[in-house]
Chains A and B, each alone.
Chain A
Amino acid sequence: MSQDNNQTPVKPKKEGLMEVKNELVNTISSSEERAFPANYAALSNLNISWLYMLGIKDKDGNSVLMSCTPKSVQRSFLEMLYSGLSVVKKQCYLIPYGGELTFVSSYAGDELKAKRDGGVLSVIASAIYEGDKFAYEVEAESGIKRIKEHEQSLDTIGNGTKIKGAYCVVTFKDGRRELTIMSKDQIIMSWNQRQGQGLSPAHQKFTDEMACKTVKRRALKPIIGSSNDSSLMEEGNESPKGSEAAQAVKQKANAERFDFDEHEEVSSKQTAPEAKAVAVAAEAVQAEYPSFA
């Protein structure tokens, strides 16, 4: 595969790419207050993510920012920024699907969102290995699941590939706990939903770790789905630019008196009859010589 061949056809898109970046910067810097979650530096995240994504190549060796449609690049970056996630920290991925850059939250991004928006204090996942002693119960009245016992040793862990299932305990800030359990079959079924299907080398070699990520995602999905926008509503979360703009209207609009000068000035450029004569002359000239001037 020759680099030159790949780069020639994408060159004309380069200008469009700068436009997309500039538009994004404009959007961010002119976004209204509370557009972004607290403690999220949107502009610097845009810049560092942009640099990071410039280095990401698609399967043909082209920069994904160049090979995807500018609209999809803009949209996926905005989705990332408004979700308050970072592609550099792997809280989300910007993935090219059929020439469209697509925003996908990662399990780490899900955890961040659940903690930020869903009142979650901690998210702890664990694999259940084949030799583990594991028992849980379901409280009939409430449907709440509870682990009765989980006994594990280094021997049962082994190389980490022989699992029976995995579970995730989500502890909320108000002390509630939620347990999500997935059997090995459920986990593998969810892996088979992947793009390209089947198990990647990571799934085959680090089965327990990947299973933990999967069960975490399942546990957090309904929490994120049912969260509100409180992270955008916290005090002190106004983005400085936005609040400045809003305050400008409040403070500066209709504030100052404006009127004609007290004394009549005499800076008239020409009198009405002069103007009339000139206009008539110009009309005549234009009519006679259409290409004049």
Chain B
Amino acid sequence: MILIVLGSSSAGNGYLLQDSEGNCLILEAGVRLKEVKKALDFDLSGVQGCLISHRHGDHIKYASDYMKAGIDVYTDATNGLEGHRFIQMESGKQLTIGPWKIKPFSVIHDVPTFGFLLDHPESGKTCFITDTHYCPYIFKGLNNIIIEANFCEEIMTKRFLEGSLNAVVRARTMKSHMSLQTTLDFLKANDLSEVNNIILIHLSSGNADPESFLQRTLAATGKTVAIASPGTEIQLNKTPFL
């Protein structure tokens, strides 16, 4: 299994999970279809579907293009998508898409938002959490963790005091995204004994310092940590030795 990051910021989010047989699950529809096609060598035949966490543009903007290309799009009923390619997803309702077992759960954003618990024979149990104030849940036996680390409170406060960050943006971010500290608390609360990779996603362009986020997560967990940025490819297997 390989994780290909097409975009991981408020400019547009898109992640591809591709197994060794060519099956592909797309997470989020915030990057152009062209980018998905490029990453898949213009062969969409292996695409099993696309999961969309919520209705903000950086996650859903190109959903209708994906649907026109024959990709089943799974998201909440209130997100304004319709047609035979749209499949409603509900929190806590498990579904199977190709070789993936998926169970969405609700997280804490300013619009209804899902996180995903995924299972695949190659990657094992993987959680995908983005755009949330915190994660209400802990998970058993995770093998890979894909999680938002949006901002660092100190950086944000410094920018706010300097006047380069709007008070409204700051207040909203603090209640609808995960600070690095909240992310680290989540990681500490979960059993990481079987975790192979931790991938930090959706870092803010101004309020985060990727290098220090990496170091601090590394220090807190002792796991393989990566920062998602467009073009990143990560081996997402159950063990590092596959």
A residues with CB within 8 A of B: 23, 26-27, 30-32, 74, 78, 245, 248-249, 252-261, 265-272, 275-276, 278-283, 286, 292-293
Contacts and interface: CB of A to CB of B under 8 A. Distances in A.
A-B complex: 7 closest residue pairs judged by Cβ atoms: A282-B70, A254-B189, A253-B134, A258-B137, A279-B70, A268-B96, A30-B171
A102 to B, nearest CB: 16
B30 interface: no
B136 A286 contact: no
A268 B135 contact: no
B69 to A, nearest CB: 6
Contact of B136 (A253, A267, A278): A253
A248 B133 contact: yes
21 contacts: A245-B133, A249-B133, A249-B134, A252-B136, A254-B138, A255-B136, A255-B138, A256-B138, A257-B139, A258-B103, A258-B117, A258-B138, A258-B139, A260-B94, A261-B94, A265-B94, A267-B94, A272-B98, A275-B47, A276-B46, A293-B68
Classify the secondary structure of B's interface with A: mixed
A278 B189 CA distance: 43
Interface in B140-197: 140, 167-168, 171-172, 174-175, 182, 185-186, 189-190
B97 A26 contact: no
Contact of A260 (B48, B101, B136): B101
A253 B175 CA distance: 13
A259 B72 contact: no
Contacts of B94: 260-261, 265, 267
A252 B167 CA distance: 26
Interface string B41-56: 0001111110000000
A192 to B, nearest CB: 32
B68 A27 contact: no
Contacts of A259: 103, 117, 139-140
Nearest to A280: B45
B70 A283 contact: yes
A26 B44 contact: no
B175 A245 contact: yes
Contacts of A249: 133-134, 182
Interface of B: 23, 44-49, 68-72, 87, 94-99, 101, 103, 105, 108, 117, 119, 133-140, 167-168, 171-172, 174-175, 182, 185-186, 189-190
A245 B171 CA distance: 11
A286 to B, nearest CB: 6
Contacts of A26: 168, 171-172
Given A261-B94, A265-B94, A282-B69, A276 B185 contact: no
Contact of A275 (B98, B103, B108, B135): B98
Contacts of B134: 248-249, 252-254
A20 B102 CA distance: 41
A27 B96 contact: no
B96 A267 contact: yes
A29 to B, nearest CB: 9
A144 to B, nearest CB: 36
Nearest to B189: A254
Nearest to A267: B95
A270 B97 CA distance: 8
Contact of A254 (B45, B167, B190): B190
B87 A269 contact: yes
A46 B97 CA distance: 51
Contact of B137 (A31, A257, A275, A283): A257
A26 B167 CA distance: 10
A254 B70 contact: no
Contact of B70 (A78, A248, A278): A278
A259 B72 CA distance: 24
A47 B190 CA distance: 44
